[in-house]
Amino acid sequence: MATETSNTDIDTTTTRIPKYMVPIIIDKTLDYNILITLLNAEIGPQYKITFAQQGIKVLTTTTHAYNTAKDALNKQNIYFYTSTPREEKSHSAILKGLPGSIDTGIINQELTEHHIHLQYIEQFTSKTGQDPERTIRK
């Protein structure tokens, strides 16, 4: 006797892993229950905690939860360290082939007109006599 199987019985849904912000790393000596209570009160369920050799890692899914968690830890004088999130990092670019006679103020003005705001422009000159390069930090 043959049995039939239907393709509708197969679950084709996939679980999507959430993307986390950079971790906030807290010293292992902190009481775990104090940390859980603080984070639940401040950001609710928008975090995940893992244990690592460096300490307790707090991972958040949104920028708002990340900033709120950092502020809450600062208010409680809890020591932690973290790195700068990708969204807050500055970008740099090198413009090659520009003549050395162009003033950096003109470059800044042109880029500002295109809504690109700069922190600074630095001109590099070559020892071989080639055209200078300019580094722009946004």
pLDDT digits 0-9 by tens, 6-65: 445 555 555 565 678 889 999 888 888 888 999 999 998 889 998 888 889 999 988 899
| C-alpha triplet 61, 65, 66: angle, nearest 5° | 80
Averaged confidence pLDDT in the chain: 79
Structure confidence at residue 41 (pLDDT): 92
pTM of the model: 0.59
* Closest to 68 in 3D by CA, of 84, 47, 51: 47
Structure confidence at residue 134 (pLDDT): 60
Residue 65 in tokens:
């939860």
With a cut of 80, say whether residue 120 has pLDDT above it.
no
Structure confidence at residue 69 (pLDDT): 93
With a cut of 90, say whether residue 108 has pLDDT above it.
no
Cβ distance 32 to 56 under 8 Å?
yes
* HSE value, Cβ hemisphere, 13 Å, CA-based, for 37: 6
Percent of the chain with pLDDT over 70: 77
